[in-house]
Amino acid sequence: MIPPLDQVPEGAVDPALAEQVAALNARYRHHSATEVMKAALKEAGNIALVSSFGAESVVLLHMAAITDRNVPVLFIDTEMLFTETLVYQAEVSERLGLTNVQIIRASEMDLGREDPDGTLHQFDTDACCSLRKTVPLNRALENFDGWITGRKRFQSGTRAALDFFEAEAGTGRIKVNPLAHWAPEDVKNYMEENRLPRHPLVARGYPSIGCAPCTSPVKPGEDPRAGRWRDQNKEECGIHFVNGKVVRIGANQ
């Protein structure tokens, strides 16, 4: 089990947790994503899967469902998502038989104080992501020893060295990335082989889907994430942490 955080200096990775993560990476380095998923649910303590129910989310959700349909799935509803995403979330959850989907939202108090008119995203996207994604998720994750993400190395330069298992500094949690080594064709093939439903916006030019105000269609030849915060020095929503702090990584940083 993960050691108590009060025994670890603020912002540091507990040595025992780092050792556990290193051992897991060594043991599963050449294993499949499905085996990494099984290992996460059996060996990483009380763990949740965090899903946006976006363009590729159904792959990880399917892997979780065939392993344990009762795995906690945390879905962050920013209340600025596309209607298509909300419908897709409900349909996929029912089709896969997921029994423990937990919808996470910002508190009414925080919204009233920091974004009373719903326009924060127009002048400070980082603050909006923090309010509507990072803070609610961090609160929800306080109940867990770790979380499973759908991040992949190919998605951006900031993810190029991604491992299956990571130790989150300052939080005492393990972060698991079963699809870290997958290429785009692996995602496509898995969805086709398992006849998984695609997010309806993918066919309309949205290969990466976030909140409606900050997501635009992608033209042929553009990076798949080019439609996220277009024309801004930003490529992460901020739900990932380094040294216990939110990561705000721009494309040129």
CATH number at residue 18: 3.40.50.620
Confidence at residue 14, expressed as pLDDT on a 0 to 100 scale: 82
Question: What percent of the chain is predicted at pLDDT more than 90?
Answer: 62
- Structural domain that includes position 53: 12-246
- Choice among 74-78, 86-90, 155-159 with the minimum mean pLDDT: 155-159
Residue 98 covered by a domain = yes
- Token readout for 171 is 């939080």
| Sequence-ordered list of residues with C-beta below 8 angstroms from that of 7, at least 6 positions apart, any chain | 14
Q: Give me the pLDDT at residue 154, please.
A: 63
In a domain, 253, yes or no: no
Inform me whether the pLDDT recorded for 109 exceeds 60.
Answer: yes
In a domain, 252, yes or no: no
Does 5 reside within a domain? no
Q: Mark whether 211 is an active-site residue.
A: no
Check pLDDT > 60 for residue 206.
Answer: yes
Strand partners, 215: 228
Please give the biggest Cα pair distance in the chain: 51
Pairing of strands 146-148, 245-246: unpaired
User: pTM for the whole thing?
Assistant: 0.83
Q: 128, 129, 211, 237: which is the annotated catalytic residue? A: 237
Q: Would you say residue 231 lies in a domain?
A: yes
Q: What does the angle CA 71 – CA 77 – CA 80 come to, to the nearest 5 degrees?
A: 155
Residue 81 confidence class, pLDDT cut points 50, 70, 90:
very high
**Given pLDDT bands bounded at 50, 70 and 90, which one contains residue 176?**
very high
Residue 4 covered by a domain: no
Residue 219 confidence class, pLDDT cut points 50, 70, 90: confident
Tally of domains in the chain: 1
Q: Are 241 and 7 in contact (CB under 8 A)?
A: no
Which residues have C-beta within 8 Å of that of residue 28, sequence separation ≥ 6? 35, 36, 39, 164, 165
Residue 163 CA to residue 152 CA, distance in Å, equals: 9
Please report, to the nearest 10 degrees, the dihedral formed by the alpha carbons of residues 117, 120, 123, 127 taken in order: 160
Asked whether residue 1 is domain-assigned, the answer is no
Q: Is residue 234 part of a domain?
A: yes
pLDDT in tens, 114-156: 999 999 999 999 999 999 999 999 999 998 999 999 888 765 5
Query: What CA–CA distance (Å, rounded) separates 74 from 98?
Result: 11
